[in-house]
Amino acid sequence: MPASRSVVIGVDSSTQSTKAAAVDADTGALLAVGRAPHTVTGTAGARESDPEEWWTALVTAVRSAVRDADVSAASVTGIAVAGQQHGLVTLGAGGRPLRPALLWNDTRSAPQAAALAARLGGPEAWAARTGSVPVASMTAAKWQWLREHEPERADAATGVRLPHDHLTERLSGTAVTDPGDASGTCWYGTATGAYDREVLDLLGLDPALLPALAPTGATRAGTLAPAAAEALGLPRTVAVAAGTGDNMAAAVGLGLGGAGLLDHPVVSLGTSGTVFAATRVRPAAPGLAGFAATDGVGTYLPLGCTLNCTLAVDRFAALLGLDREDAVPGGGDGGGVVVLPYLDGERTPDLPHAAGLVTGLRHGTDPRAVLGAAYEGAAFTVLRALGELLAACGLDPAAPDVRDRPLRLIGGGARGRFWTDTVRRLSGRPLVVPAAGELVALGAAALAAGAATGSDPVALATAWGAGAGEVLPALPRDEETWDRIAGVLTAATPTLLS
């Protein structure tokens, strides 16, 4: 590689692993990806990880990416972290974690979320001021849980961070966050672009414990701190971006934002299922997370999130002794199997205490149909949130110009044939499946390039073409399966799922 060409590193620190992408800053070419796993622990609703393991994984993944890209350390000009959203990291002396982080899918804080949601004027008021209503996944609820269950640790905290904040601080020595990830806390005001002091007072959270707010995720937080540079084997001159949450980075990687596409919906199939779109409308819908985008130009990223997606379906495959692709549609000769795979409770709809539900079984039911029904139940739950998302953006989901807008299908599930077929069948919409497989890391790389050069990260990612891919035409919408699942969800919610 010519010495004049710069390389940027985009880090995707997710629930299960860290991936670091080495990217040519000029062309967006993905040169190499380094990987390292995380450990998630907990039962009965608890989900925790050690932030020190995230840092170790980041170092391992970055070193691997630079090595496998066969580039010199001197060619690396920027780095940015995109992290799993909502997690609560509490720091003590020396900036090290006091305890394992409470992850986004830890549902123990559901009672605290419900109590908070009833305050400050109720759910509508929360949505109007912070963009979101407290639910178990939100950081504010987790902090309140910590205050009630481990008050000595809450009192001892010298810093409160989100996962990406913590890693950015380890890289740069600067405590900084961005509007996108901050908007997932329920203590950041999307209407004001600042921390909400009344919410912080309600939570007993000293604003001095929080990181500074950067204007965008591509804002230069500084350069590599000496210890980080040594650990990564990179020059101290490498620019460190403020970074953002994983969903915001995926949007950047897809070219969604003020300098790119607006009001184009995305469906992400991963451990969680999400739907989101970049829009100029500041939504205030209680059923959605009204996030800010990370490009800092008055763009928002409303998002609907389900807790149970690919991991839950894989669990059904394991229980049935099947490969994940050994599925058939669930409404076959058995009379119509319905699976609501809410193994971790559910966030959308807000059913934190739900468990998985299977109905419609007969003696002759094919196990493959049960697996197919698990796919359908997970996809239905995500697509049900899509209608709410489009309405929150001021769009009519049934209008032809909106209905015919392709869904951009991303995440691990987008690589699965049955996942793709199920989304096409239940949505009745055309799909775009981007060719790039590491959109969160690529989006983070665009933020890193923005920090190094001052360029708009959405414009960069658009020029790179990271969001381009195969277009799959629409299939007729499977109304029968949709209505069958909707009927079971409605009937079960007041009793079996609550």
Please report the DSSP string for 102-157 in residue order. Answer: EPTT--TTHHHHHHHHTSTT-HHHHHHHHSS---TTSHHHHHHHHHHH-HHHHHH-
CA angle, corner 46, sides to 161 and 313, nearest 5?
A: 105
Q: Going by C-beta distance under 8 Å and a sequence separation of 6 or more, which residues neighbour residue 302?
A: 131, 276, 277, 279, 281, 283, 285, 288, 289, 290, 291, 389, 392, 393
Single out the catalytic residue among 246, 295, 344, 478.
Answer: 246
Strands (E), 279-374: 289-292, 300-306, 338-340, 357-359
**DSSP run (H or E) holding 481:** helix 479-492
Active site annotation includes 263: no
- Torsions phi, psi for 425 (to 5 deg): -70, -40
Please report the DSSP string for 395-449 in residue order. Answer: --TTSHHHHTSPEEEESGGGG-HHHHHHHHHHH---EEEES-S-HHHHHHHHHHH
Q: For residues 96, 97, 103 and 107, what is the CA-based torsion angle, rounded to 10 degrees?
A: -160
Residues labelled as active-site residues: 246
